[in-house]
């Protein structure tokens, strides 16, 4: 069985080098909207999505993430011109929150590929936004109190061409069918 959606899923890959050119507003909107259609526990739509294109805030996010990573000499967002952050309620408030936020991130990565953008899942947002600096940024973003950082995606135009031969083969026995 094959269709365009399944082809997108097979072809999507993580991009770790981006052009400095900012993405178009309609591309960003398409990616963000795709995130809003991710399934969420009991349909509560708990996650919050924040797209950052402000270069000063991006520099701050890079510094914060690199500090958590323990590598101040790198850009954990791979130089992407847009960073999309996902927040959700604390798990003790909404047990499905992290799973819900993860599904939002997955939808956005697949949508990015579908519209010709590159994306890469980025981690450490939970630790970043537990800090006083992170809490101040969340307030600046207009988010309600009591949220945690779930993750982020780097978003932009890929700097390099990706070929299917670069893809890791899928491991043997990845899935099973029990009848």
Q: How far is CA 150 from CA 55, 91, 137, 164, 165, in A?
A: 22, 11, 15, 30, 32
- Mean predicted confidence (pLDDT) in 167-177: 90
Q: Tell me if 169 is assigned to some domain.
A: no
- Mean predicted confidence (pLDDT) in 88-108: 97
Lateral strand order in the sheet of 147-156: 48-52, 82-89, 147-156, 118-122
Q: What are 125-136's pLDDT values in tens digits? A: 999 999 999 999
* 164 pLDDT tier (thresholds 50, 70, 90): low
CATH number of the domain within which 126 lies: 3.40.109.10
- Mean predicted confidence (pLDDT) in 19-37: 98
**pLDDT value at position 54?**
98
Q: Tell me if 91 is assigned to some domain.
A: yes
If one counts the domains in the chain, the total is 1
Q: What are 52-94's pLDDT values in tens digits? A: 999 999 999 999 999 999 988 899 999 999 999 999 999 999 9
Q: Tell me if 81 is assigned to some domain.
A: yes
Q: Which secondary-structure segment (H or E) carries 134?
A: helix 132-140
Report whether pLDDT(47) > 80. Answer: yes
Residue 49: partners with Cβ closer than 8 Å, 6 or more residues away: 32, 35, 36, 84, 85, 86, 87, 104, 108
Structural domain span for residue 123: 11-95+115-161
In whole numbers, what is the pLDDT of the chain averaged over residues?
A: 95
* 168 pLDDT tier (thresholds 50, 70, 90): confident
* 165 pLDDT tier (thresholds 50, 70, 90): low
Q: Tell me if 174 is assigned to some domain.
A: no
Q: Tell me if 177 is assigned to some domain.
A: no
Q: Tell me if 168 is assigned to some domain.
A: no
Rounded Cα distance between 175 and 171, Å, is 9
């Amino acid at each position: 069985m094959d269709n365009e959606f399944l082809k997108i899923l097979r072809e999507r890959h993580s991009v770790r080098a981006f052009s400095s050119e900012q993405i178009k507003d309609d591309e960003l909107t398409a990616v963000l909207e795709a995130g809003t259609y991710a399934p969420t526990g009991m349909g509560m739509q708990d996650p919050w999505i924040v797209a950052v294109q402000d270069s000063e805030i991006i520099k701050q996010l890079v510094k914060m993430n690199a500090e958590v990573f323990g590598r101040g000499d790198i850009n954990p967002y791979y130089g992407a011109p847009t960073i999309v952050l996902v927040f959700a309620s604390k798990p003790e408030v909404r047990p499905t929150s992290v799973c819900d936020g993860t599904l939002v991130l997955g939808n956005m990565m697949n949508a990015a590929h579908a519209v010709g953008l590159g994306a890469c899942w980025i981690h450490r947002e939970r630790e970043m936004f537990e800090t006083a600096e992170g809490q101040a940024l969340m307030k600046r973003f207009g988010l309600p109190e009591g949220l945690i950082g779930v993750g982020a995606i780097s978003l932009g135009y890929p700097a390099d061409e990706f070929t299917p031969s670069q893809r890791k083969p899928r491991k043997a026995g990845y899935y099973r069918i029990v009848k």
